Every structure is written in structure tokens, then in C-alpha cells.
Amino acid sequence: MYFHWKLNLYVILLVLIFVVPFYIGYFVVSNIRLLQRQRLLFACMVWFTFMYFFWKLGDPFPILSPKHGILSIEQLISRVGVIGVTLMALLSGFGAVNCPYTYMSYFLRNVTDGDILALERRLLQTMDMIVSKKKRIAMTRRQMYQRGEDQNKQTGFWGMIKSVTSTQSGSENLSLIQQEVDALEELSRQLFLETVDLQSTKERIEYSKTFQGKYFNFLGYFFSIYCVWKIFMATINIVFDRVGKTDPVTRGIEITVNYLGIQFDVKFWSQHISFILVGIIIVTSIRGLLITLTKFFYAISSSKSSNVIVLVLAQIMGMYFVSSVLLMRMSMPLEYRSIVTEVLGELQFNFYHRWFDVIFLVSALSSILFLYLAHKQAPEKHMAL
Amino acid sequence: MASLDRVKVLVLGDSGVGKSSLVHLLCQNQVLGNPSWTVGCSVDVRIHDYKEGTPEEKTFYIELWDVGGSVGSASSLKSTRAVFYNSVNGIILVHDLTNKKSSQNLYRWSLEALNRDSSPTGVIVSNGDYDREQFAENPVPLLLIGTKFDQIPESKRSEVLTRTAFLSEDFLAEEINLVIEKRYFTRDPSPVRLSFYLLF
């Protein structure tokens, strides 16, 4: 039974635990020049270290019952699940807070063209200052070089003293100007980033005035209610140590049926709606994850590390997928939960849900704090200009 | 240092092709030890004696403006970058010989820089398609530089050279291949080996 489920699961686990980490180790080792000769050997060593830490991961968590053997599937899935669930909770927490913040235009600061022009002018002025200082440095260096040639011709005691004093003053001057240049370059980078920030805010304001923008704004309000509800539920689950018995869609439909007295075939509709919702949740969360990761990795990629980055991405995606199968269990109607339970083996599912709630709450609260600070800090910066 | 003597040259190209290394090499006569991602624009200055040795000798400061980023960046990044494209006297386009995409992106880079130059309102006129005519009447001289030639294995070098020949044809350029030997540098490890092709 459930042959395809199990086949897929085994293959994914194989890839996640054996193939990808080994490949990552291989590429990392290839990048280090010293170890070029015995790449395979060192790659194997890296892989064994990875397996050791992976195994150790299982110890602090109450995820296994003792009747499982050491090489059973449950051992592997439980560990992969822990990592994946942590990751998912972190991202969901951040996403749950960031999503309404991004979509709702209430949070958009007011940016005028004049602000942008003023910043651009400042940026260009800073660049001009950097240029003039660098010209001075170049000219001074050239003069020192020319004088240095003359100095070399001077011999004797006085010649040596003269050369020491004049070059010293020249180089002191140079290092002073160089320090000023470094400070100005740092300033120019900051100004550039601020200008980019203002430009993107201005574009978002323009976008929000369009029809599409208004639609997303409305979605933003809707999502924010959903996110607040999720945070609330996570808190309640932890405080009251409760585990949900029925999934939200079935409960929602039951409530509708009881209050409105409409005749619904609860089973039929709950099954379909919950699957659609679960599908949407997984697709949007994976899409959100990929977009965030892409932005992050785009910033740090280079020709050397691109292989490693792609593999790390694959690893993260794989773990994310396995754990979303795990967590999906909560959102499914009762009869389907047994399928997941059977395929994944006997894991302590309650632990995972609890762990997810904890990390989700922590992540959501810290991202609220973080966004609040970032939002407060930005208008102050512009007021100072 | 009057503003009349100001010579501003843009150095454009994809991320990671070696623009910062190139600029550092030209201005400091040294190989850049720790290249890192350029945020915004970094400027460096080179002193050049124009018509050296003749009575018309004049000293110029050539400002090399190394603008970071890629052609596919967000539009906010592009419109901010456009600030640097004012009153440009020349453009150096850098591409990576080991990376075909960077050569293809050069068209878009040149369009981005030139369009900003010609239209004071900053509106991009073309739809991104490449048009040779635009380069025919273009008053700004372009210099095309291909980097990392030494990282190409011997077998593929002729293929790369044919590709660059096509590239210079597209830009209506003359091609001069100049290989700078390693001995030129004071420091040893894998310097940037340049082959220049000059455009008029």
C-alpha cells in the first residue's frame, strides 16, 4: 500500500542525507587550494563529520520511542524533520509578520521627488569630493616618486636626512587624505543604498495607486488578520498545552453548519477545501522561501561558490518538503492523517507541532521587534538630512 | 584641476567580471588583493600625460567610475545608478571571457548608459533590442575589455577568440589583441590578463 509515497520518501531521504552533503563537501574542499590533491578523501571526512552532528541532533529531543532499531527510517526522518520544522517555523514567523507589512500601504512612508533629488545631489557631491581628494593623492604620489628619483642620486649624510624628512611629511599627508577618502567612500555607499531605498518606496507608492495595488492592499489586510490569528493560536497551544483534534477547515465548516443551519455535506466539502488550502499554503510558502533565499544568495554569490550555494538550496528545499509533509498532518481531515502516520512511521507528531508553535512564536515576535525598530529608525534618518 | 580638464570614463559590466580589479590595476599599478562586491560606485583616478613629449603635452586626470550591479537589477537600483551616467566622456565595457552571458549583457549595459546620456528626461527609449545604428552615430568612444583569458583552457582559446571577433564586429569596432605578460606585475598570484579590443 502507498507504494509511491514510500518510494518518493526513500529517494528523497537518500538524496538529502547521502548525495547532497557529500557533493557540498566535495565542492567546498575543491575551493580550498591546499587540499586539492586528495579531494575525495577530505570530502568523505566532511561527510562523516556531517553524519556525526546529524546523529547527535537526535539526542536532546524526545522524538523516538525505544522500540525502533538504529537503522530504521524513523531515525532519519525524525532528524530531518527537526531541522526542517525549525526552518519552516522561522520562515513562517518572519513571513507572517513581513507579509502584511509589505502589502499594506498603511506602512509606506511618504516620499517626494524632492527628497530623492536632494539625496542624489548629496551623493554626487560626495563622489566629487572623493574624486578631488584622489587627484591630490595621485599628484602627491607622482611628485614623491619624481622627487624620490632625485633623492636617490643624493648621497652622503645630508642627502639621507633630507630624504627621510621630506618623504615622512609627504606620506603623513597622504595617509591623512587616504583616511578621509575611506570615510567618504563609506558615506557614498550609505547614500547610494538610501537612494535605492527611497526609489523603491516611491515605486511602491505608485504601484499601490493602481488597481492591482489596491487588490494587494486588500489581501494584505486579510493576511494580517490570518497572521494575528495564527500567532494567537500558537500562544494558546503553548500556554494551555493543547493539541488540535480537528483541522481548521472542518471546524470552520462545522461552525457554519451549526450557526447558519445550511445543509452541507461536511465530509465532502471539508476534504476538498482543506486540500486546496493546504496546496495553496505549501505553494506560497515554498515560493516565498525561494524568493527570499534567491535575494540572499544573489548578494553573496560568486563564480567560486555558486555550486555550493545551489546545493545548499537543494538541501534546504528537501528538508522543507519533508517537514511540510509532517506538519501538513494537522491541516488534514482525520482519515487522511492515518495515511501520513503510516507512511512516515511512528513519530511523535505532537512534539513536532509543539516545537513548530514555539519556534513560530519566537520568530514572529522577534521579527515584529526587528521591523518596528527598522521602521522607526528610517524616518529619523531622513529627518536629519 | 579646472573642470575643463575633467575626463570621466565609466567602467561597466556584469557582477564579478573584474571591473574593480581592472580599475585598481590601471590606477594603482598593483593587483587588487581582496576584491569584494562593489556597492554603488567606486571612483579612482589615473594621471595621464596627453601627447607626452610634444609641445602640446597636457596632464589629465582620468576618472574611472566603476559602477556595480547587473542588468537585471530592480528598477529602483537602475534609476539610482543612472545618476552616475551624466556627462560621460568614454565608456569601458568589461566582460568575462569564461562567461558567455556577460558578453551578451554588454549590449544592455551600453544601452543603459547611452540612453541616459542622450535623453535628459531619463526615459529609456528603446525596448531593449540591439540596434547597430545607435552605435554608428554615437559620439562617446567605447572600449571593450575581456578578462580572465588565462583561466580558459588551451583547447577552448580559439573558440573564445572567434566569439570576441563577432562581438567587436557587432559594436562596429576594430580589434586589437593585447596580452599583458605576468612579468609586468610586481606581485605574483593569478593577475588579470587582458586582451584589449579597441572601438572607434
**Predicted complex ipTM:** 0.74
pLDDT at residue B55 tops 70: yes
Nearest CB partner across the interface for B16, out of A135, A203, A303: A303
The residue-averaged pLDDT of A59-63 equals 62
Chain A hits for B74, CB-CB cut-off 8 Å, are 200
Amino acid in the structure at residue B17: V
pLDDT given for residue B44 in this prediction: 86
Q: Please check whether residue A145 touches B, CB under 8 A.
A: no
Chain B hits for A123, CB-CB cut-off 8 Å, are 40, 83
Question: Pick the residue with more confidence: A149 or A4?
Answer: A4
How far is it, in rounded angstroms, from Cα B150 to Cα B98? Answer: 9
**Long-range contacts, B45-48 (Cβ 8 Å, 24+):** B45/A131, B45/A134, B45/A135, B45/A137, B45/A138, B46/A138, B47/A138, B47/A139, B47/A142, B48/B7
Q: Please check whether residue A291 touches B, CB under 8 A.
A: no
- Ramachandran assignment for A50, one of left (phi > 0), alpha (psi -120 to 50 degrees), beta (any other): alpha
pLDDT, tens digit (0-9, with 9 covering 90-100), for A264-299: 566 666 667 666 766 666 677 677 777 777 766 666
| Neighbouring C-beta atoms of residue B125, cutoff 10 Å | 10
Q: Which cell numbers hold the place of B172?
A: 562596429
Asked if A355 and A343 count as a contact pair (C-beta separation under 8 A), the reply is no
pLDDT, tens digit (0-9, with 9 covering 90-100), for A356-369: 788 888 888 888 88
pLDDT at residue B3 tops 70: no
Chain A hits for B84, CB-CB cut-off 8 Å, are 127
pLDDT at residue A215 tops 70: yes
pLDDT given for residue B54 in this prediction: 74
The residue behind cell 518538503 is A321
**Which of B8, B77, B33, B197 has its CA nearest to residue A135?**
B8
Q: Please check whether residue A142 touches B, CB under 8 A.
A: yes
Distance from CA of B80 to the nearest CA of A (A): 6
Nearest CB partner across the interface for B45, out of A131, A188, A196: A131
Q: Please check whether residue A369 touches B, CB under 8 A.
A: no
Asked if A318 and A15 count as a contact pair (C-beta separation under 8 A), the reply is yes
pLDDT at residue B131 tops 60: no
How far is it, in rounded angstroms, from Cα B21 to Cα B23? Answer: 6
Nearest CB partner across the interface for B47, out of A124, A139, A303: A139
How far is it, in rounded angstroms, from Cα B94 to Cα B81? Answer: 17
Distance from CA of B81 to the nearest CA of A (A): 9
Rounded to two decimals, the pTM is: 0.62
- List, in sequence order, the alpha helices (H) in chain A: 3-14, 20-31, 39-56, 73-103, 113-153, 156-208, 211-240, 248-260, 266-300, 306-328, 334-344, 349-384
Q: B76 and A303: CB-CB below 8 Å?
A: no
The residue behind cell 565609466 is B10
Taking any CB pair shorter than 8 Å as contact, residues of chain B touching chain A are 1, 16, 27, 37, 39-47, 61, 63, 65, 74-77, 79-80, 83-84, 98-99
Q: Quick one: how far is CA B34 from the chain centroid?
A: 20
